[in-house]
Amino acid sequence: MKQGTLMLDLAGTWLTPEDRQLLRQPEVGGMILFARNTETPAQVRELVRSIRTVRPEMLIAIDQEGGRVQRLRRDVLRLPALGRIADCASADAGVLAEGAAWLMATEMLACGIDISFAPVLDLDHGRSQVIGDRSLGGDPQQVIQLAEAYIRGLHLAGMAATGKHFPGHGWAEADSHTDLPVDSRSEASIRESDLKPFAALATMLDGIMPAHVVYPAVDGLPAGFSHRWLQDILRAELGFRGVIFSDDLTMAGAHVVGGMAERVDAALASGCDMLLVCNDRAAAEQALVHAQRSGMQPSARGQELLARSAPGIEYKAQPRWRQSVALLQSAGLL
């Protein structure tokens, strides 16, 4: 069965009858877990098992970056924000980034989760509070170097890497969860700075999530709804061949294109492969009904991310686990 195009969310730590009904819809191809869905690794494994009993081919995601964006916190490592790794400013920073990524990925894969939406490739310009220490720094070359190591750690563990938020959320000050951010710089300025990590790493990344940010010098629409950004630049120019995940279509930054049906249509028209509709069950149901009525086609690329095998739950016995934990502890990151 091909991957459905919608990625939705769940009410709590177990499946409700309403959740099960959503899971049965072929237009739904993914579920993203939030803090309200996670208590312990054992509970998450059971939740994932329940999901896969209904839909074995479901793609299950989480945001487990570290720092303030870490949905599962109990009985797992409290990982550092990527900015803390960047602050280590030494020859070992890349090794630390790789180790942190490997540790996160092994813990999430052992829970049955397929992907964590990471790494953040936004530059830290000291302007955006929503990005801040989630960034690997303000220098594009440093971000490229450390993100490459982080992606390598994910891949070594068997997890796909998803870069966000294309083409860069670090300059715009507004939070796209609550407002529509605007980055008024010239296209040349964006290309010389924020776009560089995405350009350098496009062929290493398995997924990319565009920003709900408007870059008027390039397009009047937010990047996630922009054919110019996603098709002309990301696909044709940068050569990206992976999955494009929309950012959450319920966010304020997405409202500019209209109601939920218009958002779904605009995201698909721009080139998004999977559409996130989260934290609003009524909106999710609207998106699902529209997908059913419009004959939304399944995602040809989403299934590719399920072709990875998760390690067993005894990962802590692996020498690499002990070595990576010790390395981060010695750097004061754990």
Q: Which of 247, 181, 240 is nearest to 215 (CA)?
A: 181
Distance CA 257, CA 265 (A): 10
Strands 207-210 and 162-166: parallel
2 carries a ligand binding annotation: no
Structure tokens at 312: 């067993």
Report yes or no: 107 and 74 within 8 Å, Cβ to Cβ. no
Degrees, nearest 5: CA angle 245-169-81: 85
134 carries a ligand binding annotation: yes
Distance CA 9, CA 30 (A): 8
Burial 65-82 (b: 16+ CB within 10 A, else e): bbbebbbbeeebbebbbb
Distance CA 144, CA 122 (A): 10
> Is 290 part of the annotated catalytic residue set?
no
> Is 177 part of the annotated catalytic residue set?
yes
* Set 124, 133, 219, 247: catalytic member: 247
Would you give the end-to-end CA distance of the chain in angstroms?
Answer: 41
Residue 319: CB partners within 8 Å, gap ≥ 6?
none
Structure tokens at 196: 């560089």
Residue reference for tokens 């390598």: 152
* Set 87, 125, 177, 179: catalytic member: 177
Instruction: Find the radius of gyration of the CA atoms of the chain.
Output: 19
3-class state of residue 145 by DSSP: helix
Q: Would you list which residues are annotated within the binding site?
A: 63, 71, 134, 164-165
Catalytic residue ranges: 177, 247
Q: Would you list which residues are annotated within the binding site for substrate?
A: 63, 71, 134, 164-165
